[in-house]
Amino acid sequence: MVDLDDRLRALRGVSAELARELRGHALAVDADPYRMEPHLAIGAYGVLRQTMTPRRYTDGPLRVGRFEYPPGSCLDGVVRDVELAYGDAGVLLACPGPGLAGILVDQLADDAQRDHFYGALATDAAWSFFAVTEPGRGSDASALTTELKRETPDCYRLRGTKRYIGNGSRGGIGVVFARTGSAPLSIRAALVEADMPGFHATGLDMIGLRGACLGEIQLDGVPIPAGMLLGNHLPALRRGLWGAMRVFNTMRAHVAALAVGTGLALVDLVRAERPGAPGIDQLRARLLACRRLVYTAGAAVDRDRDASGPPGVAKNAANALARAASRWAVRSLDPAALLSVPLLEKWTRDVCGFEFMEGTSDIQRQHITRSYLKSRSAR
Amino acid sequence: MTPDGFRALGRTYGLAAGLAAVLDGFDTAVAAPQGVAVLPAAGLPHGACVVPHPFAAREGLAVVRFPPQSPNGRIGWGLTKARAVALAAVRLGVLEGLLDTAITRLAGRTFGGVPLIEKQLVVGAIADVLTELELSAAQCAEDAPAETAAAQHERLTEAGWTVTRFFGAEGYLADHPVRGLYLSALVADVWVPRPMDTYPGE
């Protein structure tokens, strides 16, 4: 288990302060997530970009007092995100910047590709996408059918459809996974720009977490210069899905952080409306225990990016707790609270979204058990 | 209309039609808990002020607030007794219809070459939903005490969540029929009186 040191407590403190401002934008982003101009100056967005962008593309790492927070730490990220999600997870997910694609680019890209990717995200209003999922195939990434076909020595063509992609219809640049052949190792990731011919994206109307702006991307012969394929300098085993799986391990810890933050926000929402509501101490204690699991998952991923067990445990626990918190909150307040406290109705929708992000609870169950069995047989 | 009739209505015509039947002849402006209601969007009563909701209108519903009748505001007891049972039956029908859609989807999709409908976790979850449906239908016929309605509706909400998850990420899209399950929960949360609850665990 992880106990936060002074450095991480300072990060938690500054994130908690930023969350207050972030919450003030929650209802507006939920109502119209594509109208982001009024929200781009949110202080938390600056911190998110600073802590998710490599040093060479920023003015330097985030500093709080005597402490520094260089990008790349999953533990730093989940400590930050629990607090920001306490403000509002939907606004957090609407943040422009490198996002999931950045995590993969940091792992698989060469210097020229990194320059290209981060250069395209150098403004305050530039989003990126990370396109793995396809219609009808969901979590089965190995079954993807999007085709990356070599046309000339210098150019490929991308054909297929990606769906449920965060910022899919507003991202200017991102990563798309596709097949160069039928073998498992023929899945590759390419840097793709939305203004290329043959790239068509549409938004999907979401139930909650609407700031995530899921979209569908149709790729109709999009030209991809050979230099935009990620991982050319890496062994074949480390070019394709291996990278995606490592990104998912990182992101599961982050989703768990969002769920815990939202659960804690629901507890305090009820406390404000009905101090001493039955069950409040019990639920808060469970959420704080879950926050500790999330920190542990972040530290485990920092030690080993292939670790799938701890993020799976944290995500499943946090996901179930956040939804339980929303049901408890609804039952603890009178019906009018669903309108008079609009965040209650919104968060009741939002908590359902964590189930579907980076693998459903059934998928996590498999990760948890496999990870346990692997460690058991190694004992 | 019998509970079976309400159930068939919910299954065949959906939540808005079922809710309209449940509220037929009811003074919603008086009964709305503290002046808040979810109503069929067609033919809203005079004075109902529509509150924005991201997808209620897609399902033919409106979230509304009635102006206060007195300085003390409104009380409004919501749906009790037979109407709470009727709403449960409508929700059962909506749930059944979407379970049917979900099963078609699960049968047509594979993971690792195996149809999802054959996965043990999925088989078990479908069985749990079917059991809950039967139990809830029996409760509708049982003339159970009024104060048990809230617990019955909460069980339906949980069964609805299980069915929602059968749709995968589609289950989080507002333009998919699954939105009926989110709104079914909202309708019950607004209309069915409940004891102030404790935290029962997740």
Helix (H) or strand (E) holding A338: helix A337-340
Nearest residue to A5 (alpha-carbon basis) of A76, A81, A73, A72: A76
Q: Is A325 a member of any domain?
A: yes
Contacts of A328 in chain B (CB under 8 A): 197, 199-200
Q: Which chain B residue shows the shortest CA-CA distance from A345?
A: B186
Q: Does residue B186 share a domain with residue B86?
A: yes
Same-domain pairing of A224 and A259: no
Asked if B95 and B178 sit in the same domain, the reply is yes
The band of A115, judged by pLDDT with boundaries at 50, 70 and 90, is very high
Minimum mean pLDDT range among A110-114, A181-185, A303-307: A181-185
- Give residue B69's pLDDT: 67
A vs B: CB pairs below 8 A: 120
* Min Cα separation B60/chain A (Å): 16
Contacts for A360 with CB less than 8 Å, ≥ 6 apart: A139, B165, B168
Domain count of chain A? 3
Instruction: Chain A: give the shortest CA distance to residue B161, in Å.
Output: 9
Residues of A in contact with B189 (CB under 8 A): 330, 335, 338
pLDDT of residue A13: 97
| Same domain as B184, residue B95 | yes
Residue A121 lies in a domain: no
pLDDT-derived band of residue B73, with 50, 70 and 90 as boundaries? low
Q: Is A250 in the same domain as A355?
A: yes
CATH number reported for the structural domain that contains residue A300 in this entry: 1.20.140.10
Does one domain contain both A229 and A254?
A: no
- Lowest mean per-residue pLDDT among A247-251, A344-348, B49-53: A247-251
Q: A332, B197: Cβ pair inside 8 Å?
A: yes
The reply to whether B47 and B121 lie within a common domain is: no
> Are residue A23 and residue A145 in the same domain, yes or no?
no
- Does B202 map to a domain? no
**Final residue before a domain boundary, out of A238, A269, A287:** A238
> Does residue A301 carry a pLDDT above 60?
yes
Tell me, yes or no, whether B10 and B97 share the same domain: no
How high does pLDDT run on average in chain B?
91
- Distance from B112 to chain A by nearest Cα, in Å? 7
> In terms of CA atoms, which chain B residue is nearest residue A330?
B189
Contact A73, A80 (CB under 8 A): no
Predicted confidence (pLDDT) per residue in B110-124, tens digit = 887 889 999 999 999
Of residues A22 and B46, the one with the higher pLDDT is A22
Is A327 in contact with B157 (Cβ distance < 8 A)?
A: yes
Query: What is the residue-averaged pLDDT of chain A?
Result: 93
Cβ pair B109:A360 closer than 8 A: no
Contact A206 B202 (CB under 8 A): no
| A178-227 residue pLDDT tens | 999 888 788 999 999 999 999 999 999 999 999 999 999 999 999 999 99
DSSP class of A67: E
Q: Is residue A175 part of a domain?
A: yes
**Torsions phi, psi of A127, nearest 5?**
-105, 160
Q: Is residue B31 located within the same domain as residue B121?
A: no
Co-location of A366 and A247 in the same domain: yes
Does residue B16 or residue A371 have the better pLDDT? B16
Which pLDDT value is given to residue B145? 77
Q: Identify whether A113 is part of a domain.
A: no
B141-153 pLDDT tens trace: 887 777 788 999 9
Q: How does residue B51 score in pLDDT terms, banded at 50, 70 and 90?
A: very high
Residue A116 lies in a domain: no
Do A249 and A219 fall into the same domain? no
Same domain? For B43 and B94 the reply is no
Claim to verify: residue B52 and residue B105 sit in the same structural domain: no
Same domain flag for A282 and A325 = yes
Contact (CB<8Å) A335/B165: no
Answer whether B199 sits within 8 Å of A328, measured CB to CB.
yes
Separation of alpha carbons B1 and A172, rounded Å: 56
Same domain, B98 and B185: yes
Say whether both A56 and A93 belong to one domain: yes
Asked whether residue B95 is assigned to any structural domain, the reply reads yes
A276 belongs to a structural domain:
yes
Chain centroid to Cα A126, Å, comes to 16
Q: What CATH code is carried by the domain that includes residue A137?
A: 2.40.110.10
Q: Which pLDDT band holds residue B72 (cuts at 50, 70, 90)?
A: low
Residue in chain B lying closest to A328 (CA):
B199
Whether residue B108 is found in the same domain as residue B176? yes
Q: Higher pLDDT residue, A238 or B74?
A: A238
Residue of B38, B53, B153, B172 to mutate, testing the A interface (most A Cβ within 10 Å of its Cβ): B172
Give me the mean pLDDT over the B87-95 stretch.
97
* Position B137 in a domain: yes
Is residue B112 in some structural domain? yes
pLDDT at B101: 97
What residues of chain B lie within 8 A of the CB of A318, using their CB? none
Number of domains in chain B: 2
| Beta-carbon separation of B110 and A140 below 8 A | yes
Buried b (16+ CB within 10 A) or exposed e, A348-372: bbbbbbbbbbbbbbbbbeebbeebe
Other Cβ atoms less than 10 A from the Cβ of A151: the count is 12
Is A1 part of a structural domain of the chain?
no
The closest alpha carbon to A88, from A34, A37, A35, A42, belongs to A42
Query: Which of chain B's residues have a Cβ under 8 Å away from the Cβ of A255?
Result: none
Domain with A68, as residue range(s), is: 6-103
Query: Is the per-residue pLDDT at A295 higher than 60?
Result: yes
Is B54 in Cβ contact with A30 (below 8 Å)? yes
Subunit contact A327:B65, Cβ cutoff 8 A: no
Q: Would residue A110 count as lying in a domain?
A: no
**Taking residues B36-51, what's their average pLDDT?**
93
Same domain flag for A226 and A274: no
- Which of B157, B174, B201 is the closest to A206 by Cβ? B174
Query: What's the confidence (pLDDT) of residue A341?
Result: 93
The verdict on B169 and B134 lying in the same domain is yes
Identify the CA nearest to B178 among candidates B162, B157, B164.
Answer: B164
* Structural domain ending residue among the three candidates A170, A203, A238: A238
Domain carrying residue B14: 3-65
Residues B57 and B86 reside in one and the same domain: no
User: Do A249 and A370 sit in the same domain of this protein?
Assistant: yes
Pair A226, A156: CB distance under 8 Å: yes
pLDDT computed for residue B25 by the predictor: 92
Whether B19 is in a domain gets the answer yes
pLDDT one-digit tens code per residue, A129-158: 999 999 877 667 778 899 999 999 999 999
Over residues A328-350, mean pLDDT: 94
In a domain, B70, yes or no: no
A346 CA to chain B: closest CA distance, Å? 9
Q: Are residues A184 and A214 both part of a single domain?
A: yes
CA angle A25, A27, A29 (to 5 degrees): 65
Task: Indicate the residue among A103, A138, A157 that finishes a domain.
Answer: A103
| A228 & A314 share domain | no
Complex ipTM: 0.93
User: Are A324 and B202 within 8 A, CB to CB?
Assistant: yes
Q: What's the CATH number where B172 sits?
A: 1.20.140.10
